Structure 1
Amino acid sequence: MSDSCQSSESEILYLMEQIRHLREEVERLKREREDLIIALSTTAEHGDCIEAQLQEANQQLKVEVEVRRRTEMTLQTLMEAISKRKADLEIVVQTIMEHGDIMDTQWALKLSEMNKIASMDGLTQIPNRRRFDEHLAHQWKQMTRERSPICLILFDIDLFKQYNDTYGHLAGDDCLKQVAQVLNGCVHRPSDLTARYGGEEFAAILPQTSLEGAMEVAQRVQTEIANLKILHEKSSVSNYLTLSIGIASSIPTPEQSFSKLLDEADQYLYLAKQQGRDRIIFSSKKALRQ
């Protein structure tokens, strides 16, 4: 009887132990169930957000694909245009190579023509002040090397303002043209140059020319102007157009500048006008009058 009681007590203890394990298992399962419920709830709560993000990413990807497609099309078009332009340029280059000599000649002629235009006075069609300065500087250096004389003649139309006021600017322009033609006709050598010096003033550069030779040129110009008999009623000098003339002569040296020759010719021209106009001054004491 005692053994049966002990056996029953052991069974009861075993069962109670089993029940305790079962309860613990149940509690564990409950906790897992609660965790799953929480996880499912969280997934449900954020599912819409995740889906929206996925849709946005998908849409962005579609946009990028479309942009890439358009870029590729643009690049293709550009490559075709470049290819065509390259072909056109090759044709141009080929043409230039085939006709290079002709084009070089044409450009050289155009450049020469433009330089000529830039060096000419538009009204009188003789060299302008720019060309005068260039030529005088060049000839001064040349005469310095050669130790040869150079002469400069400055011409001024007497009382030209009164002429313009009396006969008008069109007549004044025609008068300037006639004086320029006379100067050109009196100076012949290739190294000589006549130019419009400014306004109603003209100049002649005479390299390798003595003072006597320059005086002959000045007298010839004065005579030709007198022969034109251009009426000038308001002149206090003559009834016809006259010129005042100053001549300077020098044998250049490396220490000198052509500006000294210019200053001297200008001084003599001033003296010619101061002493009554219509005359040639070639030194402070010597004068010739037509």
Structure 2
Amino acid sequence: MLILACTYLYTGLIIIPHILTFPGVFSDTGLLGAGNQSAVWLWVFWHGGFPIGIIAYLLVDQLDRQEDPPQRVIPLAAGMVTVTILIVLLWYVLSTMGNDWLPAIIEKNNYSILLTSGVGAVVWLLNCSAFILLIWLRRGKNVLTLWLTVAVFAFLLDVTVTLFAGARYSLGWYTARLNSLVAATVVICSIIYEVNKLYIRLVKQHVQLVESQDELRSANEKLTKLSNLDGLTGIPNRRRFDEMLARELHESAGKNSPLSLLMLDIDCFKTYNDHYGHLGGDAVLKRVALIIEDSLTGTTGIAARYGGEEFAVILPRLDVEHTQRIGERIRAAVEAEQILHKASIVGNFITVSIGAFTMLPAQNTEFEEMVAFADQALYSSKSDGRNRVTAFDQLLNR
């Protein structure tokens, strides 16, 4: 692509001395020390250099090699641009200062000698070769190739018409000038088209990327929700409970505030499953989980399913008295629901036993100790007849 870019840079630059040295444009004999052969020789260098650049572009494109690393692109481009400018300067100096050394290929605006001398034939063959190679090697692979084929064909037509026109300012000569304009602009049009197509594709890919990110975010949220919630009851599971209790312990230690934990167990749940079946047991677990959450309304409490028929409630910033009051509220709400349980040794309805532990400020109780103390209080509630709330402090008093 750098070779192709420098080919068009070469074409654009060499036009400048060609116009300035052309007789009758800015002066009768041309500027920049132009001789009588300068403009026509610059035309030869121009129309011979363009197909050489196209041929080089095609041949290099056939090489199977890795792309240049980004750090090499800028110095490589700078070097190629510099070489292109130096070549144009060389042709300018040769066609003006060396005007007398170059063979005469025009006499009084008639350049039939250009064709008979063989110079014109070489230029035509170069353009023809570039056109044939372009069709043979690229076969219209993309829009750039198609437009480049049109440009090279227009250049070939320009050379052909110019050579057979035989003189300046003839109809053929003006036709050739028109083809030069076409050759210089068609690739610019193709580049604009390609850039626009690339931009549209990038926009579509960006939209797809945003949509994919939204879908991925949604999927991650669902996955996080599924991994953190109990599949049956819909409240946080044991894994999430461990994370929340560890976080609350850290915050409680930092803020020097109390932290309470309730451990709840459905009384005689095994006999309920044996009597009513596991589907009935699942329904009870769902209803009890809902009752616990409803009982925590207006508090900062967090309910979780600890495992089996056991639930846990984390109560940040609550002292012993308030913790026991909330535990009693949950117990009474479960009992008031009057979920029939004829196989219970406690009564005719589903009940829960609750153990409570409150870590006071500056107590620095560990995670495992807190769960163990609340479990001890729960075990005491079950030993004392079930359907009751026991605080760990009560065990210490005993």
**Does structure 2 conserve the Cα–Cα contact (< 8 Å) formed by 1:140 and 1:252?**
no
Corresponding residue for residue 278 of structure 1: 387
User: Kindly, what percent of the aligned residue pairs are identical?
Assistant: 37
Question: Which one-letter code corresponds to 2:255 in the other structure?
Answer: E
SS at match of 1:285: helix
The TM-score normalised by the length of structure 1 is 0.64
Aligned counterpart for 1:245 among listed residues 346, 350, 354: 354
Q: Compute the displacement of 1:209 (Å).
A: 1.0
Change beyond 3 A, Cα 1:246–1:255:
closer
Specify the structure having the higher radius of gyration (Cα): 1
| Match among 277, 285, 299 for residue 176 of structure 1 | 285
Rate the CA distance shift 1:237–1:190 in 2: closer, same or farther, 3 A.
closer
Who is 1:106 aligned against? 215
Deviation at 1:241, TM superposition (A): 1.0
The residue type equivalent to 2:294 in the other structure is G
Which residues in structure 2 correspond to 1:127-146 (within 5 Å)?
Answer: 127-146=236-255
Whole-angstrom distance in 2 between the partners of 1:200 and 1:227: 19
Q: Which runs of 5+ in 1 are unaligned?
A: 1-75, 81-88
Q: 1: distance between equivalents of 2:327 and 2:231?
A: 24
Tell me the CA shift for residue 284 of structure 1.
Answer: 5.8
Deviation string 1:10-52 (CA, Å, 9 cap, x unpaired) is xxxxxxxxxxxxxxxxxxxxxxxxxxxxxxxxxxxxxxxxxxx
Per mean C-alpha deviation after superposition, the further-off stretch among 210-219 and 171-180 is 210-219
CA contact (8 A) 2:267 2:352 kept: yes
CA distance in structure 2 between the partners assigned to 1:286 and 1:205 by the alignment: 20
Conserved in 2, the CA contact under 8 Å of 1:158 and 1:243?
A: yes
Q: How does 1:1-290 map to 2 (within 5 A)?
A: 94-188=203-297, 191-251=300-360, 253=362, 256-283=365-392, 285=394
Following the alignment from structure 1 to structure 2, what is the Cα–Cα distance between the partners of residues 208 and 214? 10
Taking the aligned partners of 2:322 and 2:335, their CA distance within structure 1 comes to 20
Q: Greater relative contact order (Cα 8 A, min sep 6): structure 1 or 2? A: 1
SS of equivalent to 1:183: helix
Helix, strand or coil for the counterpart of 1:134? helix
Tell me if the contact between 2:304 and 2:312 (Cα under 8 Å) persists in the aligned partners. Answer: yes
Report Cα offsets for 1:116-172 as digits up to 9, x if no partner: 111111111111101111100011101110000010001000110001101111111
- Partners of 1:114 and 1:151 in 2: how far apart? 30
Secondary structure, aligned partner of 2:313: strand
Q: Give, in whole Å, the separation in 2 of the partners of 1:128 and 1:196.
A: 5
User: 1:152, 1:206 within 8 Å by CA — same for their partners in 2?
Assistant: yes
Unpaired runs of 5+ residues, structure 2, are 1-136, 142-197
